[in-house]
Amino acid sequence: MYQGVIMSGFGGQGIISAGILLAYAGMTDGKYVTFFPAYGAEMRGGTANCSVVISSDEVASPVVAYPDTLVVMNEPSLSRFEASVRKGGLLLINSSLVAGKPKRDDIKVNYVQANEIAEKLGTTKIANMVMIGAYSKLTGAISLEGLKKSLKKVFPRARQEIIDLDTEALKKGMEAV
């Protein structure tokens, strides 16, 4: 099993945190992982993306040039990364913020209203968790149990009610697909 993922969005959408969570969950599930973040000129509001590899075999490089899965949280990310998704790959789109449609017909596309789902749970800050839940369900690369166990490692200072909210957002993301 090999799953190369690129997650992309605006700074402040929790892209890097979500990537770290994916990597920790992969380790928790007993897989090999790499994580490679990239930031735009500004942190909050600029662009942010990260590459995560989750594999049953050792990983030679953290660079994901042609992702198996692309998770886009904003419009510019769709334009920037759509062409790089491997043929037959998966494109997860936060349809709350992305109005554009992909131009390709050789990939699987899933639309998740991540911001709306997160808002119903109380805060749009967990839209990234909704997308991670959808990713987990669609790919099987990481388990919900692995994600739940990893939340406290990735967010060690978070109060239990925040961890519970993140867990609920993961579950809602799984239900959305």
Instruction: Give the model's confidence band at 43: pLDDT under 50 very low, under 70 low, under 90 confident, else very high.
Output: low
pLDDT of 137 over the 70 cut: yes
The confidence score (pLDDT) of residue 90 equals 98
Tell me how far apart the alpha carbons of residues 110 and 112 are, in angstroms, rounded to a whole number.
Answer: 7
User: In whole angstroms, how large is the CA radius of gyration of the chain?
Assistant: 15
Q: What is the pLDDT of residues 49-103, one digit of tens each?
A: 999 999 999 998 888 999 999 999 999 999 999 999 999 999 999 999 999 999 9
Tell me how far apart the alpha carbons of residues 139 and 69 are, in angstroms, rounded to a whole number.
Answer: 9
* Cα–Cα–Cα angle for 71, 167, 76, rounded to 5 degrees: 20
Q: What is the pLDDT of residues 4-31, one digit of tens each?
A: 999 999 988 999 999 999 999 999 999 9
Q: Which domains does the chain have, with CATH numbers?
A: 2-176 (3.40.920.10)
DSSP 102-129: -S-SSSEEEEE-HHHHHHHHT-GGGHHH
Report the predicted TM-score, pTM, of the whole model to 2 decimal places.
Answer: 0.94
Are the CB atoms for 49 and 38 separated by under 8 Å?
yes
